[in-house]
Amino acid sequence: MKKFVCLLTAGTLLTSVLTGCGAFDKVKKPDENGVLTFKVAHDSADTVPVSVGLFKFAELVEEKSEGKIKVEIYNNGQLGSASDYVVNTQLGTLDMGVVNQSVLSSFVTDLAAVDIPYIIEGYEHADRVFEGETGQYYSQEIKDLMGTEVLDIWEVGFRNLTNSKHPVNQLEDIKGLRIRTMDNKVHQEFWKSMGADPVPMSWNEAYTAMQQKAIDGQENPLSVILGNNVAEVNKELAMTEHVYSSIFFLMSKDAWEALTEDQQKLIKECAREAGQYEREEQRRQADKAMAELESQGMKITKPDKKEFITASEEFRKQYGVKYKNIVEMIEAAR
């Protein structure tokens, strides 16, 4: 059943005014030179693959529009958290935002299906899922529920576990670890089922929390771990590859409708081209990241994933029933 929940509290509305694009003046108009300028928000460092993809997108848009459309990129959570981007693009107070599937699933509930551990088996499978029927389903659902345009679905990669306490070689080693997660029920329940203590928080708070030992670790793809200097605060990295993360490139209805039909086509073409570039960059960075993280003092372990897959089997079955139609689409893409 399709369901969307958006909590527009007074605080959220204030955040939207402060961090959004143009406050509540949602009507996008060209400047005196006929140039439309859009702001896009991202919550991580400018070296990570998603940011690299956004710079490529901005370059392509300006080039192909002959300078009539420009994109300003705001990384490192300058315009709030990823949850803010969802709300603000829906309100029209932010033009564009890139939002991890796990954050977006707090708003579009059946998106949680792709966060089921070990449901996506590898990069080729992920490409068939998000570039195929499942990706089309979610893009249309988000537009229907929120009015927000999905320009494309990009890649964050397979998530791995880091901590500052001890090596993780087996399931037993996870017990009791306080792990930062996104505000995502599937992630939190998975880590609880593994014996860990999940602590939901925004990414821009996580580094300080690890540095101060308020939490023991976090879980993210290698490129994000490297790009955000996690090795400075966590020395243990376990290659668990438990969840594949995608990231949705959202555009507000107001910003989208400020474009002509030809410009809309151009924006989507640029998003897809930049998305392919971003996926290649993510995989390139992931390939090189292990050696770089080791050089920064991280100790890398490769626990047997079969133990984790077996331990989470019942967990996956429960969610498989809950999101049966999505799981069937994902399995059909294997």
Across the range 186-215, mean pLDDT stands at 95
Amino acid found at 177 = L
Burial class from Cβ neighbours inside 10 Å (0-12, 13-18, 19+) for residue 261 reads exposed
Instruction: Give residue 1's pLDDT.
Output: 40
CATH code assigned at 316: 3.40.190.170
Instruction: Give residue 184's pLDDT.
Output: 87
CA distances from 182 to 15, 81, 204, 285 (A): 19, 11, 11, 22
Tell me which residue of 170, 161, 151, 328 sits closest to 249, measured CA to CA: 151
Q: Is the pLDDT of residue 5 over 90?
A: no
Structure tokens, 207 = 């580094």
pLDDT digits (tens, 9 = 90+) for 104-137: 999 999 999 999 999 999 999 999 999 999 999 9
Question: Is residue 274 one of the residues assigned to a domain?
Answer: yes
Asked whether 156 and 100 are in contact (CB, 8 A), the reply is yes
Question: Is residue 8 one of the residues assigned to a domain?
Answer: no
Distance CA 290, CA 158 (A): 13
pLDDT digits (tens, 9 = 90+) for 250-301: 999 999 999 999 999 999 999 999 999 999 999 999 999 999 999 999 999 9
- The percent of residues above 70 in pLDDT, for the chain, comes to 92
Asked whether 118 and 316 are in contact (CB, 8 A), the reply is yes
pLDDT digits (tens, 9 = 90+) for 230-254: 999 999 999 999 999 999 999 999 9
Q: Is 120 helix (H, G, I), strand (E, B) or coil?
A: coil
Angle at 194 between CA 190 and CA 200, to 5 degrees: 50
Question: Is residue 178 one of the residues assigned to a domain?
Answer: yes
Distance CA 158, CA 232 (A): 21
Distance CA 310, CA 154 (A): 29
Tell me which residue of 117, 206, 116 sits closest to 162, measured CA to CA: 206
Question: Is residue 68 one of the residues assigned to a domain?
Answer: yes
Q: What total of structural domains would you count in the chain?
A: 1
Phi, psi of 320 (to 5 degrees): -65, -35
Question: Is residue 24 one of the residues assigned to a domain?
Answer: no
Structure tokens, 328 = 């069937």
Instruction: Give residue 24's pLDDT.
Output: 40
Question: Is residue 239 one of the residues assigned to a domain?
Answer: yes
| Domain hosting residue 71, numbered range | 32-332
Across the range 208-216, mean pLDDT stands at 97
Q: Is the pLDDT of residue 58 over 80?
A: yes
Q: Is the pLDDT of residue 95 over 90?
A: yes
Q: Is the pLDDT of residue 315 over 50?
A: yes
Structure tokens, 319 = 């969610």
The per-residue pLDDT of the chain, averaged, comes to 91
Question: Is residue 13 one of the residues assigned to a domain?
Answer: no
Question: Is residue 15 one of the residues assigned to a domain?
Answer: no
Across the range 14-26, mean pLDDT stands at 43
3-state helix, strand, coil in the chain (%, to 5): 50, 20, 30
Q: Is the pLDDT of residue 7 over 70?
A: no
Kindly report whether the global pTM for this prediction surpasses the value 0.85. yes
Instruction: Give residue 183's pLDDT.
Output: 83
